Chain A
Amino acid sequence: QKEVEQNSGPLSVPEGAIASLNCTYSDRGSQSFFWYRQYSGKSPELIMSIYSNGDKEDGRFTAQLNKASQYVSLLIRDSQPSDSATYLCAVGHDMRFGAGTRLTVKP
């Protein structure tokens, strides 16, 4: 079992829809969780961090964490073509990454 698992996608949604990205992790002791966005040929850029169970909202983005289920998700509301990128989930102080989910938002 991989430490951090994400659906590789690609995930395709129409412009204006909600995109839902999921991530599961194996280390039950993990305390910190991050979502990064990576455009092709660029380095990852932070979208959100979350440390406590529940939801955390920042603009169009909502991160959801459920430590009991070892599950973290990212919702993108009102998706825009500029959101098309690979979304990386990272877990723990040394940030173990999943393989990423490629999202395409179609105009």
Chain B
Amino acid sequence: ETGVTQSPTHLIKTRGQQVTLRCSSQSGHNTVSWYQQALGQGPQFIFQYYREEENGRGNFPPRFSGLQFPNYSSELNVNALELDDSALYLCASSRRDYPHQETQYFGPGTRLLVL
């Protein structure tokens, strides 16, 4: 167990709806990253939050947005869901004190199905 939790574990939505996924970081971690993993692919970096600020973003449209809270937990919000958004969404937490990047530990993921 990594100490990183995600909710919900599974979710079914219809096209056009909005979804919020949640992640609780491992104790002592101040950085959270979100990834999308389609079937048979490696995780694709969505964005990273460090001390409540977005700290890097991958090639995802603005309808993917996020938040990090003072307790370092995080949310991923996806608006106007599309069929291609169906994937496993992974959250990973780490402790980052520049310039050092410590290892990220993954939560179990949320599997989203868009119909």
Contact = CB atoms under 8 A, between A and B. Distances in A.
Given A44-B90, A46-B104, A98-B42, 10 more contacts: A6-B42, A32-B101, A36-B106, A43-B106, A45-B2, A46-B105, A93-B96, A94-B56, A96-B45, A97-B35
B103 A88 contact: no
Contact of B103 (A4, A34, A43, A97): A34
Given A95-B33, A95-B104, A97-B35, A43 B42 contact: no
A49 interface: yes
Interface of B: 2, 33, 35, 41-45, 48, 56, 58, 88, 90, 92, 96, 99, 101, 103-109
B19 to A, nearest CB: 19
Contacts of A42: 108
Contacts, number: 50
B45 A97 contact: yes
A19 to B, nearest CB: 18
In the complex, the 4 A-B pairs of residues with the closest C-beta atoms, listed nearest first: A97-B42, A93-B101, A43-B106, A99-B42
A36 B90 CA distance: 14
A96 B104 CA distance: 12
A98 B42 CA distance: 6
Nearest to A89: B42
A32 B100 CA distance: 9
A94 B33 contact: yes
Given A94-B56, A95-B92, A97-B35, A88 B105 contact: no
13 contacts: A31-B99, A31-B101, A36-B106, A44-B43, A46-B104, A46-B105, A49-B103, A88-B42, A94-B33, A94-B45, A94-B56, A96-B45, A99-B41
